[in-house]
Amino acid sequence: MYNVVIARYGEIGVKGKNRYVFENRLIRNIKNNLKEIGKLKVYKDQARIYIDIEDYDYEAVIQEVRKVFGIVSLSPAVKLEPDYDKLKDVCLKLTKEKLEFENVSTFKVESKRADKKFKLKSPEMSQDIGGYLLSNLGDSLKVDIHNPDFVVYAEMREENAICYVDKIEGYGGLPIGTNGKAMILLSGGIDSPVAAWLVAKRGVEIEAIHFHSYPFTSERSKEKVKDLARILSKYCGKFTMHSVNLLPIQKTINQNCPEEEMTILSRRFMMKIAQEVALNRNCNALITGESIGQVASQTLQSLHVTNSAVDIPVFRPCIAMDKTEIVSLAQKIGTFETSIIPEEDCCTVFLPKNPVIRPKIEKILSSESKLNVDELIKDAIDNIEVERIEF
């Protein structure tokens, strides 16, 4: 019965004169997410986005569109000619379906009279349609205007009438591509995919850089990270991933620096390399999945030393979240099950028994001065592997 999906946006609506830029980008992102389903008509009308679904499965359409950042809710709907009697009939059919397939018994009607020439005002429409539903459905349905099991939405417009009974929640945020680009340091763990998702939700286009220690870490470890990147691409669209072998740098640090500084020095090299790649790719910031105090390299002192390695901003959206919160979000976006697959990563190579947890910047810089930093970074970047990731 449904012939259209209504997609609603949130904060885009307060963008003033620039709103059309966000709306147009949102429409483009919706079309990109629907490419695998078909070439559907997507258009805007009166602060909403509409997708004409024709003979396509509306549930599949909604499943793809709800992943688009900027969408706050969606509704499968029936759009028909502006005939009030036909609108009431559609309201009745959708209500019958709701009663048949879901455990519901109470309802209310919310009406909107966009056509000011229509004889009934919005409250009068709600009363009339509500009475019509009750008269046809008898004891199986009751009115509850405060806490109903579902709501019947009915709209009379000049050019059409619309009815729907469901609102499916989206993720909100802003459309990808409206707020610049950033580089995520993507590992095989739980935190960094969540961090990437959170920043992308604010309209930031992402690229990824992954550090491995092959052959000390396996090919399967690298594939796991690619799997995580593909899951992210469902929300973020296609993006580029840069893979860097950190092993030569780790060996050099191991041979020339105190063992307890291994983790923090390796982390500084990761940040320096990520910054070089980010700037070459026109990224304005780095993203990490760090959370205060989670591991030795994430104490405030360690984060200060890590930050001092780069000049561009570093976004840490998980910084004040505890592990339970991060895990919950990872489960929500679908990365958790892949993240917990047991594979080694570069951080476990040469892992010190007693890593420094309150590093002094002067001491770390002194150790770093024993290394040919520029040459090590250049060699790592010269041997980088680049891959385009898409779901």
User: Which structure tokens are listed for 305?
Assistant: 């030393």
Helix (H, G, I), strand (E, B) or coil at 308: coil
Is 239 assigned a ligand-binding role in the annotation? no
User: Whole-angstrom Cα distance, residue 244 to residue 241?
Assistant: 10
Is 212 assigned a ligand-binding role in the annotation? no
Nearest to 69 by CA among 158, 170, 162: 170
Is 74 assigned a ligand-binding role in the annotation? no
User: Whole-angstrom Cα distance, residue 269 to residue 261?
Assistant: 12
Is 63 assigned a ligand-binding role in the annotation? no
Is 267 assigned a ligand-binding role in the annotation? yes
Q: What is the separation of C-alpha 286 from the centre of its chain, rounded to a whole number of angstroms?
A: 17
Is 189 assigned a ligand-binding role in the annotation? no
Q: Which residues pair with 49 in a beta bridge?
A: 7, 44
DSSP state of 70: T
Is 298 assigned a ligand-binding role in the annotation? yes
User: Whole-angstrom Cα distance, residue 67 to residue 69?
Assistant: 6
DSSP state of 45: -
User: What's the alpha-carbon Rg for the chain, to the nearest Å?
Assistant: 27
Nearest to 173 by CA among 235, 229, 221: 235
Q: What are the phi and psi torsion angles at 371 (to 5°)? A: -110, 150
Asked if residues 129 and 166 have their Cβ atoms less than 8 Å apart, the reply is no
Q: Which residues are annotated as a binding site for ATP?
A: 185-186, 210-211, 267, 289, 298
Q: Which residues are annotated as a binding site?
A: 185-186, 210-211, 267, 289, 298
